[in-house]
């Protein structure tokens, strides 16, 4: 008997080479049929499991790093779109999908921001912690967690996070601004937090120095701080800049009104208060503010659209 190799093909795919028997000269008549039958049976037995195994192998083949990254990026970008339109629950779902594909500090970071918007501070804090476990060198994570602590009234913890944010990135202007705010703004909470105006002013100055684009935030904060120090002319200078950059900043008008009043310029103070009314502050709110800051006007605080409009026009022309 002579054995030759026979190619077995199914649906155009090659599975196996199988040896089959062929009648040789001198072989008894009829023996070739039996040998071919045996070979055919063996082919059938081997063909099915090999085909199944090949199909399973194709389905369970591990994804490449490129594929994984592509899917994770797609989930992340989709979640960011949901975050952009304010659908925070849908965004959180998208970030969880990314994490299931490929854990990343950015997904946890954005989830924390979503929970912050949803007013779920504990979940936000947990996500910031998980984000830092993925990468503890990112300044933005410390800065935003500091903001969360600041809103919760945990000023000492906020300042610690802002300190770390500055260590990770000495050029992070927002971290300096926010640390200054933590040193200034406070409310009645269990955690002791004395005001540190001098150091806050330095933080605001550093933030202004580092900012690659103009923003009214740090100028307003420093102007407010100068008012606390009784340095009213410096306060007016910074508040002028804040209003020039954002003439809708009601708080800047009110703080400048206070500075004008303290310097004896009652007319300018009244004009700024009327501008605040024109921008939407109610008379009752303004009365509460002026009572808190211990200054009052001879003329009543009543809405005056024309006066407010005039003041707004003057501010705009100075931009």
Q: What is the pLDDT of residues 117-146, one digit of tens each?
A: 999 999 999 999 999 999 999 999 999 999
Residue 6 domain flag: yes
* Whether residue 8 has pLDDT greater than 50: no
Residue 7 domain flag: yes
Q: What integer pLDDT is reported at residue 220 of this predicted model?
A: 94
| Range of the structural domain that residue 37 is part of | 2-54
Q: What is the pLDDT of residues 304-319, one digit of tens each?
A: 333 333 333 333 323 2
Q: What integer pLDDT is reported at residue 62 of this predicted model?
A: 83
**Higher confidence at residue 32 or residue 250?**
250
**3-state SS of the chain?**
CEEEEEEEEECCEEEEEEEEEECCCCCCCCHHHHHHHHHHHHHHHHHHHHHHHHHHHHHCCCCCHHHHHHHHHHHHHHHHHHHHCCCHHHHHHHHHHHHHHCCCHHHHHHHHHHHHHCCCHHHHHHHHHHHHHHCCCCHHHHHHHHHHHHHCCCHHHHHHHHHHHHHHCCCCHHHHHHHHHHHHCCCCCCCCCCCCHHHHHHHHHHHHHHCCCCCHHHHHHHHHHHHHHCCHHHHHHHHHHHHHHCCCCHHHHHHHHHHHHHCCCHHHHHHHHHHHHHCCCCHHHHHHHHHHCCCCCCCCCCCCHHHHHHHHHHHHHCC
Q: What is the pLDDT of residues 76-90, one digit of tens each?
A: 999 999 999 999 999
Q: What is the pLDDT of residues 222-258, one digit of tens each?
A: 999 999 999 999 999 999 999 999 999 999 999 999 9
193 pLDDT band (50/70/90 cuts)?
low
Residue 47 domain flag: yes
Q: What is the pLDDT of residues 88-126, one digit of tens each?
A: 999 999 999 999 999 999 999 999 999 999 999 999 999
Residue 27 domain flag: yes
| Span of 54-58, 152-156, 311-315 with lowest mean pLDDT | 311-315
The mean predicted confidence, pLDDT, of the chain is 79
Q: What integer pLDDT is reported at residue 2 of this predicted model?
A: 43
26 pLDDT band (50/70/90 cuts)?
very low
**Higher confidence at residue 15 or residue 68?**
68
Number of domains in the chain: 1
* Whether residue 185 has pLDDT greater than 90: no
Residue 294 domain flag: no
Question: Which range, 2-6, 32-36, 193-197, 271-275, is most confident?
Answer: 271-275
* Proportion of the chain above pLDDT 90, given as a percent: 56
| pTM (whole model) above 0.85 | no
Mean pLDDT of 26-55: 54
13 pLDDT band (50/70/90 cuts)?
very low
Q: What integer pLDDT is reported at residue 286 of this predicted model?
A: 72
Residue 222 domain flag: no
302 pLDDT band (50/70/90 cuts)?
very low
Question: Which range, 6-15, 34-43, 148-157, is most confident?
Answer: 148-157
Residue 64 domain flag: no
Residue 252 domain flag: no
């Amino acid at each position: 008997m002579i054995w030759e190799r026979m190619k077995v093909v199914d649906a155009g795919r090659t599975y196996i080479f199988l040896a089959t028997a062929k009648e040789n000269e001198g072989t008894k008549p009829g023996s070739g049929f039996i040998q071919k039958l045996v070979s055919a049976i063996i082919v059938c037995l081997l063909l099915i499991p090999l085909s199944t195994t090949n199909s399973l192998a194709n389905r369970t083949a591990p994804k490449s790093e490129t594929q994984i990254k592509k899917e994770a990026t797609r989930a992340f970008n989709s979640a960011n779109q949901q975050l952009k339109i304010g659908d925070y629950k849908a965004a959180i779902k998208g970030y969880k999908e990314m994490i299931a594909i490929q854990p990343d500090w950015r997904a946890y970071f954005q989830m924390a921001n979503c929970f912050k918007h949803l007013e779920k501070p504990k979940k936000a804090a947990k996500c910031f912690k998980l984000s830092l476990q993925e990468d503890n060198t990112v300044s933005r994570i410390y800065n935003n967690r500091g903001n969360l602590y600041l809103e919760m009234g945990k000023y000492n913890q906020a300042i610690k996070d802002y300190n770390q944010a500055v260590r990770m990135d000495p050029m992070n202007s927002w971290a300096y601004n926010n640390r200054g705010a933590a040193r200034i703004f406070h409310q009645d909470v269990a955690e002791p937090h004395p005001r540190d105006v001098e150091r806050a002013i330095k933080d605001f100055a550093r933030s202004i120095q580092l900012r690659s684009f103009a923003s009214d935030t740090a100028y307003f904060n420093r102007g407010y701080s100068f008012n606390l120090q009784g340095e009213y002319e410096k306060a007016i200078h910074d508040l002028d800049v804040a209003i020039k950059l954002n003439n809708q900043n009601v708080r800047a008008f009110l703080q400048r009104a206070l500075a004008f009043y303290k310097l004896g310029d009652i007319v300018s103070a009244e004009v700024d208060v009327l501008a605040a009314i024109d921008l939407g502050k109610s008379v009752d709110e303004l009365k509460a503010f002026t009572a808190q800051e211990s200054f009052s006007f001879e003329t009543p605080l009543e809405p005056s659209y024309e006066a407010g409009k005039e003041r707004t026009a003057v501010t705009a022309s100075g931009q």
